[in-house]
Amino acid sequence: MYKVFLRDKVINFVDAGSVPAGIQSVHIDPPLRDIQQILAGIDANETETDIYFVADDAEKLFIHFYTRMRIMAAAGGIVINENNEVLFIFRRGRWDLPKGKIDGDETEEQAAIREVIEETGLQQVSLGQRLSSTYHVYTIGKEWILKETHWFIMNAPGNSTLLPQAEEGITEIKWVAPRDLEAMSKLVYRSLQDVVAVAEDFVL
């Protein structure tokens, strides 16, 4: 199942017959030529938090959606130290993971490492396994943009000096022990909860 986040709402792309019982916000074969208007309507409806786009082939529907959106590519890392602690940053009032836009001719891997170094002050970062990407939509002017973030497991020494990147609104950085990850998952953006759950698999 593909998920696209809009603030703390989630749009689920599912096959017909896979919608959980009791869900009210269901769009059957949504007309994606009108996707900008559909997203604006979802954003304006304060009661909708879980939305389902349903089709006989959910993957095909998601690809169709993807090709109709302007894409902003980003990359980030789940940074783990030798104590199996995971690094979090506090950015603009929410706990977050280090990530950012892919610049120029950078590869996803290069961008992920650069963003982690810039946002945390870490100097020794090694790249590990690639994880699934996450997707969320936001607006620039009146246009909806799809941000695709590529995630990687990374490793770094736990005794490294940490320096929050103030110009990016980062005010605090901390290592979180495995036993505290479940609680931390409730403090991050909804779009990151699945990413934090993956982090738990690597450290528990």
**pLDDT confidence of 18, banded at 50, 70, 90?**
confident
Q: Could you give the CA distance from residue 119 to residue 124 in angstroms, rounded to a whole number? A: 13
* Domain extent listing, the chain: 2-67, 70-203
Rg (CA), the chain: 18
Amino acid found at 66 = Y
Torsion, Cα of 145, 146, 150, 151 (10° steps): 100
User: For the stretch 85-119, what's the b/e string if a residue is b when 16 or more beta carbons lie within 10 angstroms of its beta carbon?
Assistant: bbbbbbbeeebbbbbbebeeebebeebbbbbbbbb
List the structure tokens of 36. Answer: 């900008």
List the structure tokens of 171. Answer: 């005010």
Query: Is 6's pLDDT higher than 90?
Result: yes
- What's the count of helices (H) and strands (E) in the chain, helices before strands? 5, 12
List the structure tokens of 85. Answer: 């602690």
Query: Is 32's pLDDT higher than 90?
Result: no
- pTM for the model stands at 0.93
pLDDT digits (tens, 9 = 90+) for 145-154: 999 999 999 9
- SS3 string, 120-161, reads HCCCCCEEEEECCCEEEEEEECCEEEEEEEEEEEEECCCCCC
Give the pLDDT confidence score for residue 21 in this predicted structure.
83
Tell me the fold of 70-203: Nucleoside Triphosphate Pyrophosphohydrolase (3.90.79)
List the structure tokens of 17. Answer: 């017959």
Residue whose structure tokens are 């769009």? 27
C-beta contacts of 20-25 below 8 A and 24+ residues apart:
23/50, 23/52, 24/48, 25/50, 25/51, 25/52
Residue whose structure tokens are 């593909």? 2
Q: Could you give the CA distance from residue 27 to residue 179 in angstroms, rounded to a whole number? A: 39
Query: Which has the minimum average pLDDT: 1-10, 20-29, 115-124, 170-179?
Result: 20-29
